[in-house]
Structures are given as structure tokens and as C-alpha cells.
Structure 1
Amino acid sequence: MLSPAAFLDAEPASSPVLDDVPTCTSVPPERPEGPPGPCAPPGLEEAMSALGLQGEREYARDIFAEVMVCRALPQRALPRAVTPEMRELVVDWLVQVHDYLGLAGDTLYLAVHLLDSYLLSGGVRLHRLQLLATACLFVACKMEECVLPEPAALCLLGAGSFSRSELLRAERRILSCLDFRLHHPGPLLCLELLAALAGSNPQVILLATYFLELSLLEAEAAWWEPSRCAAAALSLAHRALDGAGSGLEPELYSPAELGLLEPCMARAALRGPEPGRAAIFLKYARPQRQGTSLTAAHLLRCPKPGTPEP
């Protein structure tokens, strides 16, 4: 089976070194244009209509190709000063700030993507990691939100560890480092499109959204294509609720291609509210989200046939 990612060339490698946040000494190279994207699956126009995009049905195939063939970040190690545990801490804090401010879901995914993109560009001093994360969230807000949080408010949420001028300077450094390449069709949009194509019910979509958000805590998730992350979350949610025989249609990825992602998401769901990574679990344990994190843990501990072992 040929996955959407097979239509892409390999990501060009680069290894600039950063002295401090927010300083970047290189600009990412131009991305080569790949071959045309995958053929549109049956029912795509109907799925676009289900998402309230009736006016975009004429461009459904182009939108599908843009979203589902988005590249992953290159597989490179985090800067020496930033361990996966430290990245977990700062992403967990970002989730709390994002939830407190009531921001759009896409804003969180874009902020984490910008954070990983900057980290993979070179080194960063540990005491500047929270400043970098806040600046990434601020940039993401400018891309996704109608009303921006005030820089002074973000500084207060950072407990005064940085000033307004430092935040704005960090923003400029990020924009310079990433060469203003901020557009990123994140996995949440992929999930919505795949769920509409599969005709998934709201309970499945909510559970898949939880699994997908948990993947933000995993450093290796930055190396996974957004569409593959979304497909893994939706597949795991379907099988956790319905057991075997609930495969997704269209099946863009083979079970082997999702084999590493689904157990990773399942393990993250079973960890529960561990210190330093509890924000997502507690967020989805609320009645407004139907106690999804508690339900997920129960389903994964008592799996139905066909659910992957964590």
C-alpha cells in the first residue's frame, strides 16, 4: 500500500548551531516541489461538505493533497541541553496556557510545531526554553486567532521569567530563523478530514482528538507526518471503542505504517496524570469532554479484540 508520504522527496538536511534562544544562524533551505499528491479518495467532496466547506468542493482534491501530504520534520536529535523530559515539561505548560486562554485547537499544534522546528535548528539554553515556547505560542496566535493575547499577559503567565521586550525579540528571532515559513496544516485538520471521510461518530472523534493531543508530548511525534499521526489516532479510537473489524475507509496507511504510532499513543494514555505531563489528561477528564481520558484508560486496560497492546 502506498501512503501519502510516499509522494514526497526526503527532507533536506541541515545542522546549524544556535548559541542561545532566541538566536538562529541559518535559514532553512527551500523545499523542493514534489510530484503531484495522491488521488482524491471516494466521498471527498461529501466529506468537505460535512465539514461546512461546501464552497471549497471544487478545490477538494487540492486541499486534500496539501493537507495529507504535509512533510514531517527531519529526524534529528534535540539540542544537547534539552532532554525529552524537559520538552515534555514545556509542552505540558503550553497546553495549560493554551487551555487557560481558550485558544483554538490549531493554535496549540502550530505552536508545538514551531517549537520543534526551532529546536531542531540548533542549540538552546535551558533557562530560555520557556521564553522560546511562549514566543512560539504568540506567533501561532497571530496565524490562527482573531483576538491576540497581550504580550504582557503572556509574561505574567510565565511568572515573570522574561520581559515583554524579551518576548518580542524572541518572536523576531523565530521568524528570522524559520524564514517566515509558518504555514503548517497540522494533524487536527487531517483528523477532521479523515473522520469526515470515515463517517466517524462524535465519541470516536473526541477519543481520537485526545490520543492525537497526547502525541504532542512525545518528541519523536515531530518526525511523523501530520496525516499519519491523525490516521493512527483515529484508527486507535475506532478499535478501542469497536474492536476488530472497524477499519477506516479509505485506508491511506497500512497497519504496518501505523504500527509504531498507535502503541505510543496507547502507552501515553495509560500513564495517566504523571507529574510534568498531566495537563492533557486533566483537560480531557472534565465533564465538558465527557471524561475522555478516564474512558480511554479503561478501554485500553480492557481492550477489545484488535486493539494494539501498549
Structure 2
Amino acid sequence: MAETGFCDSRPMDLHKKTEEKRAPLRTWANACVPKERRLPAASEEPRVLLCKAEPERRWDRRLPLTAEDGIIMDYVEQEDASHTDGREEAALLLRLHGLHRLQVLLPSLLHREVELAMENLGLIYDRTYAWDVFSDMMRSQLRYTFPSAALPKPFTETTHAILVDWLIQVHDIFHFSEETLYLAIYLLNRAMRQIKVSIYHLQLLGIVCLFLAAKKEECLLPEISELCYLMDNSYGKRQLLRMERKVLCELEFELSHCPPLHFLLLSATIARCSNKVVWMARYLLELSLLESQCAVFQPVELASAALCLARQVLQEPLTPEGETAWCVAASLLSCSEPTLQRIMQVLAVAAAQAQGRETRASFMKFSTVETLHVSTHPALLGAPRLLGLPCPQTRAQTREGTL
């Protein structure tokens, strides 16, 4: 190594200051000798006047964007902009992952609404990168999608709902953030489809997914002994760590996920929704975690359906300002009408049956004063009727009918 010149055999003094070890780049640049400029010949005419005749367009020049870049760059509008700039702007708007409704709105309005919403929610520290962050959120949700809602054998929708309901209770015990819960269920849905696990180890798989989500989202982590105690010590520490290693290897350490809660809060902030509408939408969105068929939908679609159903259930009085804000939010979080209706039907049926089910963790969680008692709202029992579906009978009603 010393002969090739890639390393220095002299010992390095670690007690030197950083600026003494290596000269900064600016010092190197100032030490360089400027190159000699070529003097123009006598026969050549000066070109200074030609260069000064055109206005300087150094910073307001458009940067070329590839088809993969779904980011709308900020630009300075020029007075002499041609009609080709309008076509380029429309093409850039269409590249943002199928958000075709963006072309009917002004980019400046969208930028301002996204910046204000993200700043109010604390999702960004610099408003300059608000649209870039939103574009990355739209791209990241397409990274992992499930082709089918069917669970591998021997798992069923009932076992999946029971496990998710238990994880919601454990998540509430540790006072984890909501992002941790959505990430844990997302990792669980991936692990159940990629890892061969028996029903006996399904609870262990669920607690491991919650533990991995907490490692990524939380600052304080529970002890492994606490997790084993919550499982009645049916599994030991070594089994939990072995399952954790297996999940990480099978998922290839890809633990990133953009939760639908971020899209829900973002659209609700832009739409100027009331607190009750937001809590109702959050309750409906958490009910989607219990439904295995909702795993095939994108987070932005789940957020849009939960917010639309919450507005229909509560039937709050409309104002012109609120309708305008809702149009802006609906344009940002676009979703096809058949997909939106399908998700809303699933959530409406789940909300109508939530009180009579055995998996009632979310129902009890959103029945407190802090959540404005949204899960006990009487309009939820008739939510399927709002979508043209028959209201399902609860377990209490069926018992009364048999008696």
C-alpha cells in the first residue's frame, strides 16, 4: 500500500484540530494560480456587446427533468415565456404518479397549501422542500404492494384480525406513536406472505414486527423480557431474537413505509376539517388494519376513503370556503371512484359491526373523551346505508331475533 501511494506510512496525530489536519477546499481554490487568458487577435472583433445584448438567464433557466423525476421544480416566471413553457409545465404535472387532477389547479396554490399543512403538522423543518417531501411520499407508497388480499394457508381473516387487535392493545400499553402501529401491521402483512410460519408462532411474529417498528420509530424501547411477559412467557428471549433475525433477512432489512395516517392528516389540514371529522377518519382508518382485504390498497387511497366516509357520516354543515379547501385536498390525494367506493363500503361495514365484535380494541380506544367518543357515534350503525348497502345485524340483534 505504501508503494502505490494510497496510504501514508507516517503516523497521524489524532490530537490535531480538524482545520490543521486538512486544508479546507476554499483555501486550496484560492491557492491555485489563475490560468492565463488568451488575448484576442487584432483581426478579431470584440464579442462583449453581443453577450450583453441578451438578458442574463443564469438562475431562471429550466432544468431538464427525466421521466422518473416526479417533482415540480420552482421557477421564475418570465414575461416573454412562450407557449412551449405551458406544455412543459402540464407535462410535469402529469408525471406525479397519476395525479391528473393537478393540471386544473395552479401550482403556486398547491405548493402553498402543502407547505402550510406540512409545517403545521411538523413533518418538515424547511418549507423549501415541502413539495419534494410530498412527492417522495407518493413514490414510496408504490414500493411494496400486495397483488392479492388472500392470506397464505393456514391463516384466515379471523386469525389476522385477532392478532392485529392484540397488537393494538400492546401498542396502547407501551404508549407508542401511531406511526409505529401502522408500520408494525405493514411489516406483519409482508412477513405473513413471505415467511413460512405456523399458527403456533403467529403471535411471536406479530410481537417481533411491533418490536422492529418501535426500533425504527420510537426513542425508548421495551425490554425483551417485557415482550415475553405479554405473551405469557410462551416464548423465550432466544426465540424472539431468532424470529427477529429471520424477519429482517426475509424482508431484506426494508422497513420503510409511508403510513396512510400522514396522508390523512395532510389532506384533513388542507381541507380545514374539524376535529371531530379528523378523529372519525382516524378511527375508520385504524379499522382498516383489522381488514386483511385493505392491505392491497395504497395508503393514499385508504386515507381518502376514510376521510370521505367520515364527512358523510357526520354530515357537518358546508361552507363555500370549506368546499374550496376540500376540492384542493381531493385533487392532491386523487383516487379512482370505484376504488374509493369499494374501500368506503369495507370501512362502513366494519364500523357498523365494531361494537358487537370480539376484536374491540380500536372501538374502546376511540370511545374516550380525548377522541370525542367518535366510535360510539350513532350514525356509524347506519353507515352502510349511506352507501346503498344493507346494514348488517350485530350479535345482540341476532340473539334477540333467535329468542
* TM-score > 0.5, shorter chain as reference: yes
Q: 224, 228, 232: which is aligned to 1:159?
A: 232
Confirm or deny: 8 A CA contact 1:284 1:293 kept in the other structure: yes
Give the aligned partner of residue 308 of structure 1: 387
Give the aligned partner of residue 199 of structure 2: 126
Task: Point out where structure 1 has 5 or more consecutive residues left out of the alignment.
Answer: 1-6, 8-34
Cα distance change, pair 274–168 in 1 and its aligned pair in 2 (3 A): farther
Q: Deviations over 1:127-167 (max 9, x none)?
A: 00000000000000000001001111011011111111111
Give the aligned partner of residue 93 of structure 1: 166
Tell me the CA shift for residue 263 of structure 1.
Answer: 1.2
Give the aligned partner of residue 194 of structure 1: 267
Confirm or deny: 8 A CA contact 1:48 1:54 kept in the other structure: yes
How many residue pairs get aligned? The number is 274
Cα distance change, pair 250–290 in 1 and its aligned pair in 2 (3 A): closer
Q: How far, CA to CA, are the matches of 2:124 and 2:194 in structure 1? A: 39
Moved more, 57-66 or 110-119: 57-66
1:235 partnered with 2:308: yes
Q: Deviations over 1:29-80 (max 9, x none)?
A: xxxxxx6545673521121222134623211112112223412522233111
Q: How far, CA to CA, are the matches of 1:240 and 1:184 in structure 2? A: 29
Cα distance change, pair 222–255 in 1 and its aligned pair in 2 (3 A): same
Bigger Cα Rg: 2
Q: Secondary structure at the match of 2:125?
A: helix
Q: Secondary structure at the match of 1:287?
A: coil
Alignment of 1:122-271 (within 5 A): 122-242=195-315, 248-251=327-330, 252-271=334-353
Give the aligned partner of residue 68 of structure 1: 138
Give the aligned partner of residue 59 of structure 1: 129
Structure with the bigger RCO (C-alpha within 8 Å, sep 6+) is 1
Q: Secondary structure at the match of 2:265?
A: helix
Give the aligned partner of residue 290 of structure 1: 372
Give the aligned partner of residue 104 of structure 1: 177
Q: Secondary structure at the match of 2:329?
A: coil
Task: Point out where structure 2 has 5 or more consecutive residues left out of the alignment.
Answer: 1-67, 69-94, 390-403
Confirm or deny: 8 A CA contact 1:73 1:117 kept in the other structure: no
Confirm or deny: 8 A CA contact 1:118 1:174 kept in the other structure: yes
Confirm or deny: 8 A CA contact 2:268 2:329 kept in the other structure: no
Q: How far, CA to CA, are the matches of 1:118 and 1:53 in structure 2? A: 28
Confirm or deny: 8 A CA contact 1:88 1:276 kept in the other structure: no
Cα distance change, pair 106–303 in 1 and its aligned pair in 2 (3 A): closer
TM-score normalised by L of structure 2? 0.64
Cα distance change, pair 153–309 in 1 and its aligned pair in 2 (3 A): farther
Give the aligned partner of residue 10 of structure 1: none
Residue type of the alignment partner of 1:73: T
Q: How far, CA to CA, are the matches of 1:54 and 1:205 in structure 2? A: 21
Confirm or deny: 8 A CA contact 2:224 2:237 kept in the other structure: yes
